Amino acid sequence: MSENWTEREVPSQRGRVAVITGANTGLGFDTAKVLAERGATVVLAVRDVEKGKQSAARLGADADVTVQELDLASLESVRAAAADLHTTLPKIDLLINNAGVMYPPRQTTRDGFELQFGTNHLGHFALTGLLLDLLLPVEGSRVVTVASIAHRIRAGIHFDDLQWEDSYDRVAAYGQAKLANLMFAYELQRRLAPHGTTASIAAHPGVARTELMRNSPAAMRAVFPLVAPLFTQSSERGALPILRAATDPTALGGQYYGPAGPGGYRGRPQVVASSPQSYDGAIQRRLWAVSEELTAVKFPVG
């Protein structure tokens, strides 16, 4: 497996269909750009349709790109988007769960979930469950879930207060949401394995320079430009682990891709390890059961 993997190693994606959440900017857009350039049919699943159309135009007239409205902070919107995609797509080869929010003041989704947990985890959980029947018949299909090194930072699955109603810590809440992303990816792979067609793979971008930092605490935003050159990488480089998880023929279900550099902050994409607690099967299964209950989405596997 190449240790110097770049986007040049992405094989032809002609004939493949990729659905990417949060694809109008940042990592999602950079992932969509490479896949479209390799011939994939790409669906930009975005909250703001007009911004999505502008991003689609940036991909060029030759790109096979459409825009799908999707607000992951609304289960009604998730269900509507899944219904639309069932109407417009014959199959899905790649579902890339990329969209997310980071460090906002405490807010709730339309369904009353804490915004980071509801959007980053529960929205993607529901979307994946509702679209999985379009992936399962497709040999070599993949679900790629984007996690973060923040799954190690003050992170845990707080079953006694998943929605942070007792007290809110935006950093810990983000850590919980990204840990949940990883646990979902691993448990999904366990359930998919007997089917033999679809793989669940996780990836993280390191510390990429994207708009995601806009809700960070003021002190963090102030110091970030000063230290950014030391431990960050461009959004294009941050997208490489996602692209590798999605397209490398040697990638396996249950793997986790991230930058190879110290701390996982930046570098070429390779298979990396996540935190010890992320591999806890009992917590993964409990989180899955709770997620099914909260979203009322049952998966056709497992």
Q: Is the Cβ–Cβ distance between 202 and 185 less than 8 Å?
A: yes
Q: Is the Cβ–Cβ distance between 19 and 134 less than 8 Å?
A: no
CA triple 268-210-189, angle to 5 deg: 60
List 103, 174, 186, 257, catalytic entry: 174
What is the crossing angle of helices 240-247 and 26-37, to 10°? 50
Asked about 174 being catalytic, the answer comes back as yes
Measured on CA atoms in the order 132, 177, 53, 82, is the torsion positive or negative?
Answer: positive
The label of the residue with tokens 């000063």 reads 226
The label of the residue with tokens 């007009």 reads 50
Q: Is the Cβ–Cβ distance between 87 and 259 less than 8 Å?
A: no
The label of the residue with tokens 């299909």 reads 141
Catalytic residues: 174
